[in-house]
């Protein structure tokens, strides 16, 4: 049985983590490097960092914040936002990232996926895709870009299939409809996606309680789950710890990396 992964996702604005609902009304949480260290100590498996305004503002990724976060964590660290070229990928990797996420730019220039995979290896390239249930596409889901602001007219299932063919080593699929809603993942979307993929699928959008993670890992073949609101959303009166989530999943037969001897959490 493959070990499942829990991934903390940071939506970065001006070096700080924010939290949104449906990609709107972002509220401030904490400095990115401080929350990254907290999540590392708490035994999170991986971290994804999105500079969410870089593409819309047509600028490069906030490389200084990438460096600050990379100094604090020693787990797989993916970064995205404002990645337009192999040079941008190289700078992010040099700054401490282990993987590069491409999203809006990949839609505009799909060859960046294959170029990145050829230069750095498929394991370094993650295709992140924001999709919405519009009913206009054959799959029912449409791809959006620029922070979920712009509809592309592209079918989600066809796009992730093409991304895999171009060399993406992982697909991160986010439901705009479920994002921040705490109502659970869009399981129909994930089951649709897994039919098109042989590379790992990361599910994103909607986790609000441990049962949602259990359901995702039981009902679908997703290898990893993004959790944000559950861990640190100021909108919630009670947040879960990574240890609580892992203990719950392990107790329900889900294969997870158990809490290790790393970080402050290990001493508890």
| Domain 5-251: homologous superfamily in CATH | Aldolase class I (3.20.20.70)
Distance between CA atoms of residues 80 and 61, nearest Å:
7
**pTM, full prediction:** 0.92
Q: Write down the domain spans for the chain.
A: 5-251
- For 56, half-sphere exposure in the C-beta direction (CA atoms, 13 angstrom radius) is 12
Query: What would the 3-class secondary structure string for the chain be?
Result: CCCEEEEEEEEEECCEEEEEECCEEEEEEEEHHHHHHHHHHCCCCEEEEEECCCCCCCCCCCHHHHHHHHCCCCCCEEEECCCCCHHHHHHHHHCCCCEEEECHHHHHCCHHHHHHHHHHCHHHEEEEEEEEECCCCCCCEEEEECCCCEEEEEEHHHHHHHHHHHCCCEEEEEECCCCCCCCCCCHHHHHHHHCCCCCCEEEECCCCCHHHHHHHHHHCCCCEEEECHHHHCCCCCCCCCHHHHHHHHHHCCCCECCCCCCCHHHHC
Distance between CA atoms of residues 18 and 13, nearest Å:
7
User: Could you count the other beta carbons within 10 Å of the beta carbon of residue 179?
Assistant: 23
Strand-pair category, 141-145 with 99-102 = unpaired
For residue 169, is it left (φ>0), alpha (ψ between -120 and 50) or beta?
A: alpha
Return the pLDDT at 229.
85
Distance between CA atoms of residues 124 and 184, nearest Å:
28
One digit per residue, pLDDT tens: the chain, 268 residues? 689 999 999 999 999 998 766 566 678 889 999 999 999 999 999 999 999 888 778 889 999 999 999 999 999 999 999 999 999 999 999 999 999 999 999 999 999 999 999 999 999 999 999 999 999 999 999 999 987 889 999 999 999 999 999 999 999 999 999 988 889 999 999 999 999 999 999 999 999 999 999 999 999 999 999 998 889 877 665 689 999 999 999 999 999 998 765 555 444 4
Whose CA is closest to 226, among 217, 237, 234, 218?
217
Token pair for 238: 């009670």
Return the pLDDT at 266.
46
Return the pLDDT at 212.
97
């Amino acid at each position: 049985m493959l070990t499942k992964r829990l991934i903390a996702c940071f939506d970065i604005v001006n070096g700080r983590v924010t939290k949104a609902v449906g990609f709107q009304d972002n509220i401030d949480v904490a400095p990115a490097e401080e929350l990254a260290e907290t999540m590392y100590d708490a035994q999170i498996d991986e971290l994804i960092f999105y500079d969410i305004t870089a593409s819309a503002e047509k600028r490069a990724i906030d490389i200084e914040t990438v460096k600050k976060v990379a100094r604090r964590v020693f787990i797989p660290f993916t970064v995205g936002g404002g990645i337009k070229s192999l040079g941008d990928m190289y700078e992010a990797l040099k700054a401490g990232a282990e993987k590069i996420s491409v999203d809006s730019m990949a839609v505009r220039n799909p060859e960046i996926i294959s170029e990145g995979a050829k230069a750095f290896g498929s394991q370094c390239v993650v295709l992140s895709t924001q999709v919405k249930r519009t009913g206009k596409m054959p799959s029912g889901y449409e791809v959006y870009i620029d922070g979920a602001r712009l509809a592309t007219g592209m079918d989600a299932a066809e796009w992730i299939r093409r991304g895999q063919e171009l060399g993406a080593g992982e697909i991160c699929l986010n439901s705009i409809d479920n994002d921040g809603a705490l109502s659970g993942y869009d399981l129909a979307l994930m089951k649709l996606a897994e039919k098109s993929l042989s590379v790992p699928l990361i599910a994103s959008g909607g986790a609000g309680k441990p049962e949602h993670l259990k359901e995702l890992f039981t009902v679908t073949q997703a290898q990893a789950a993004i959790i944000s609101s559950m861990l640190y959303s100021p909108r919630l009166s009670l947040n879960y710890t990574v240890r609580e989530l892992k203990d719950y999943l392990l107790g329900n037969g889900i294969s997870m990396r158990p809490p290790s001897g790393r970080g402050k959490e290990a001493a508890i």
